[in-house]
Amino acid sequence: MTVSPDRSSLADPHLRPASTAGPRDIVILGSTGSIGTQAIDLVLRNPDRFKVTALAAAGGRVGLLAEQAYRLRPRTVAVADASRVADLHEALAGQYGSEPLPEILAGPDAATELAASDCHTVLNGITGSIGLAPTLAALRAGRTLALANKESLIVGGPLVKDVARPGQIVPVDSEHSALYQALLGGTRAEVRKLLVTASGGPFRGRTRDELADVTPEQALAHPTWNMGPVVTINSATLVNKGLEVIEAHLLFDVPFDRIEVVVHPQSYVHSMVEFTDGSTLAQAGPPDMRVPIALGMGWPDRVPDAAPAFDWTTASTWEFFPLDAKAFPSVPLACHVGTLGGTAPAVFNAANEECVAAFLAGRLPFNGIMDTVTDVVTEHGRPATGTRLTVDDVLQAETWARARARELAGIPVTAAEAR
């Protein structure tokens, strides 16, 4: 079985836009997070290539946001938490002194407004399903979307596919950026399989029984990447790979039975594409997110020296192992909810976030994360067919899934949440 050759996908590297002359106008959403700060590092080192026109952040680090604004001089700065406006204004005044301040936007819709503003590319580095509305706004406005917010596709895949034109999205997740680059090696009809690599997390090689008593401290000790707590626990359970399989399916329009997870502890090969002639192309590099971020902002051009390359004079060993689906059932469950479609992926994602919080709080054992998520997904059942998915459908499904997951984890919920 091969990929249909007669249509383009949301992320199609063969639909290469023309290079832009002069600095490219960029809007950065989630500027104070990991993706945003690394993107700003790239912008500051490449002022001839990029100009930031707007910054948006949640509001928890207004001092950093003000510093970023002073160095980049955007037209607009936004915070999702409207209660931090006064603090942001004070922090900006401290940076700018007597110079005019940028425009300030605030509230939950501020990032969505900026996503539709006048620019070439929107980098969506927001964490969580709150990134869906800005994703849709950027696509509707015709912007190129450098997408690091995987939840946009996980919870709102049909919504995104309805508004995006072919090739409008450039993926920023390292695995999907790798697939994007490797897909240039052949036509759609020549693609046999997508191979998504996984580090295996801190518990690679353990059986399900051996995972029963692991602690949050052990689960947070990722061997390769430095990430936030939710993403790190998702790496330990391999939920992140399940989400990435759904994302790969939606981005590249490849069936789930032709997407495979391969464990690669060194995290040097970021993903691979197998072609019908038996050849496999891999995209490799040291574990550094600046390469996919730079490609997302600069596509179709590469940014020289975005990140360090390998030292090929130093010997190294690269290993690959099959996925243990019994110990880590998150990947087959994700494929199941991805096949169901509708609101099922949103339920999976929301329930998992609540279960991760319960595990970190000591209310659930490690294996209880996926056991509880499975129960919530099973209760949700098959989504109704024959109706178009709406944002309200997604939000309602997420609310129900969060409440049900907390309930199953023994965490009290309100009557309104339980409905």
Q: How far apart are CA 34 and CA 123, in angstroms?
A: 13
Q: Is the pLDDT of residue 255 over 80?
A: yes
Q: How far apart are CA 55 and CA 163, in angstroms?
A: 24
At 107, is the secondary structure helix, strand, or coil?
coil
User: Which one is predicted more confidently, 219 or 22?
Assistant: 219
Sign of the CA dihedral running 97, 103, 109, 114: negative
pTM: 0.93
- The pLDDT score that the predictor gives to residue 229 is 84
Q: How far apart are CA 22 and CA 123, in angstroms?
A: 18
Q: Is 150 among the annotated ligand-binding positions?
A: yes
Q: How far apart are CA 179 and CA 271, in angstroms?
A: 6
Residue type, position 270, single letter: H
Q: Is 151 among the annotated ligand-binding positions?
A: yes
Q: Where are the alpha helices (DSSP H) in 22-82?
A: 34-45, 62-72
For the packed helices 34-45 and 62-72, what is the interaxial angle rounded to 10 degrees? 20
Q: Whole-angstrom distance between the N-terminal and C-terminal Cα of the chain?
A: 43
* Cα distances (Å, whole numbers) of residue 123 to 65, 97, 126: 16, 29, 9
Which residue carries 């209660």 as its tokens?
A: 83
Q: How far apart are CA 19 and CA 205, in angstroms?
A: 45
Q: How far apart are CA 389 and CA 251, in angstroms?
A: 18
Q: Is 240 among the annotated ligand-binding positions?
A: yes
pLDDT band with cut points at 50, 70 and 90 for residue 16: confident
Q: Is 33 among the annotated ligand-binding positions?
A: yes
Q: Is 174 among the annotated ligand-binding positions?
A: yes
CB 377 within 8 A of CB 344: yes
- The pLDDT score that the predictor gives to residue 113 is 98
Residue 380's closest CA among 412, 415, 414, 350?
A: 350
Residue 20 is classified by DSSP as P
**% of residues, the chain, pLDDT over 90:** 87
- The pLDDT score that the predictor gives to residue 344 is 95
- The pLDDT score that the predictor gives to residue 387 is 64
Q: Is 9 left (phi over 0), alpha (psi -120 to 50) or beta?
A: beta
Q: Is 198 left (phi over 0), alpha (psi -120 to 50) or beta?
A: beta
- The pLDDT score that the predictor gives to residue 3 is 44
CB 135 within 8 A of CB 152: yes
Q: Is 157 among the annotated ligand-binding positions?
A: no
- The pLDDT score that the predictor gives to residue 7 is 63
The CA-CA-CA angle for residues 268, 295, 313, to 5°, reads 35
Average pLDDT over residues 154-165: 94
- Tell me the β-bridge partners of 89: none
pLDDT band with cut points at 50, 70 and 90 for residue 231: confident
Q: Is 152 among the annotated ligand-binding positions?
A: no
Residue type, position 230, single letter: V
pLDDT band with cut points at 50, 70 and 90 for residue 2: very low
- The pLDDT score that the predictor gives to residue 5 is 47
Q: How far from chain centre, in Å, is Cα 380?
A: 24
For the packed helices 366-380 and 344-360, what is the interaxial angle rounded to 10 degrees? 150
**% of residues, the chain, pLDDT over 70:** 95
Q: Is 175 among the annotated ligand-binding positions?
A: yes
pLDDT band with cut points at 50, 70 and 90 for residue 260: very high
Tokens representing residue 177 in the block: 């950026």
pLDDT tens digits for range 170-182? 999 999 999 999 9
Identify the structural domains of the chain with CATH numbers, from first to last: 24-177 (3.40.50.720), 178-418 (1.10.1740.10)
Q: Is 149 among the annotated ligand-binding positions?
A: yes
Tokens representing residue 276 in the block: 């019908």
Q: Is 244 among the annotated ligand-binding positions?
A: yes
- Tell me the β-bridge partners of 259: 194
Q: Is 173 among the annotated ligand-binding positions?
A: yes
Residue type, position 18, single letter: A
- The pLDDT score that the predictor gives to residue 291 is 97
Q: Is 176 among the annotated ligand-binding positions?
A: no
Q: How far apart are CA 343 and CA 350, in angstroms?
A: 11
Q: Is 222 among the annotated ligand-binding positions?
A: yes
Gyration radius (Cα) of the chain, Å:
21
- The pLDDT score that the predictor gives to residue 222 is 78
